[in-house]
């Protein structure tokens, strides 16, 4: 039996930190990101992606969010086609990501937290600083909700002159993540 004790200690030694690390991650595959021009036009530029993935590491407040560009659906299918082919070029740049950190995150406390990190879209990386989003701590779940603005020209998106009046300079992005505790 004594021969097995060091072996057992090694097994426990390896499994405990792995377990702790696993408990501190929250994730979702069904997050929602919407972007909206909020212009009163006949056909508003508005799309929603409801299969956004996100992983939050509670320990350090690090977060990674990934949305597949082809997952954005528009009411108007022709607008969706133009978005994918001409503006977002989703065959060349299939994903948009955000990797960053929540500066004042506290697992015990629901409050507005500040998100800083790098947003990548259309092959362009843009540093975002202190974006305020509401973090709601629920039982084994964490909700992240809020809205922020982006400038279209920051992402190297070429808008033909003929449609320039229809494409807004600023776009409102709203995010709604319901992260679930990783159980294993």
Partner 1 sequence: MRKVVALIIAFAVVSTTVYVCFFLDRVAPSIELSSAELIYKFSMDNTSNKSNLSENNILLSGAVTTVKKSALIVDKKIFCKFKNGISDVKVGDTIRLLGKFIGYDELFQEYKLNDCSIVNQ
Cα–Cα nearest to 70, from 43, 87, 49, 55 = 49
Residue 6 Cβ vs partner 1, minimum distance, rounded to whole Å? 35
Collapse the DSSP code of 16 into the 3-class scheme (helix H, G, I; strand E, B; otherwise coil) and give the result: helix
Nearer to partner 1, 38 or 80 (CB): 80
Nearer to partner 1, 47 or 168 (CB): 47
Binding site for partner 1 (CB under 8 A): 27, 29-30, 50-51, 53-55, 64, 66, 68-71, 73, 77, 91, 94-95
Nearer to partner 1, 70 or 82 (CB): 70
Work out the number of other CB atoms within 10 angstroms of the CB of residue 36.
Answer: 16
Residue 132 Cβ vs partner 1, minimum distance, rounded to whole Å? 24
**Alpha carbon distances (Å) from 162 to 167, 176, 184:** 10, 34, 54
Residue 19 Cβ vs partner 1, minimum distance, rounded to whole Å? 20
In whole angstroms, give the CA distance from residue 89 to residue 158. Answer: 11
């Amino acid at each position: 039996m004594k021969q097995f004790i060091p072996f057992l200690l090694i097994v426990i030694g390896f499994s405990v930190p792995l377990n702790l690390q696993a408990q501190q991650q929250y994730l979702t595959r069904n997050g929602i990101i919407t972007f909206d021009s909020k212009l009163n036009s006949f056909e508003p530029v508005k799309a929603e992606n409801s299969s956004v993935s996100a992983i939050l590491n509670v320990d350090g407040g690090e977060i990674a969010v990934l949305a597949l560009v082809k997952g954005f659906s528009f009411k108007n299918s022709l607008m969706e086609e133009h978005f994918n082919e001409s503006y977002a070029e989703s065959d060349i740049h299939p994903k948009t990501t955000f990797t960053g950190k929540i500066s004042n995150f506290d697992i015990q406390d629901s409050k507005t937290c500040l998100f800083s990190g790098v947003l990548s879209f259309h092959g362009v990386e843009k540093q975002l600083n202190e974006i305020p989003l509401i973090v709601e701590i629920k039982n084994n779940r964490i909700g992240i909700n809020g809205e922020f603005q982006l400038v279209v020209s920051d992402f190297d998106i070429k808008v033909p002159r003929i449609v320039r009046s229809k494409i807004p300079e600023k776009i409102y992005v709203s995010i709604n993540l319901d992260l679930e505790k990783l159980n294993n």
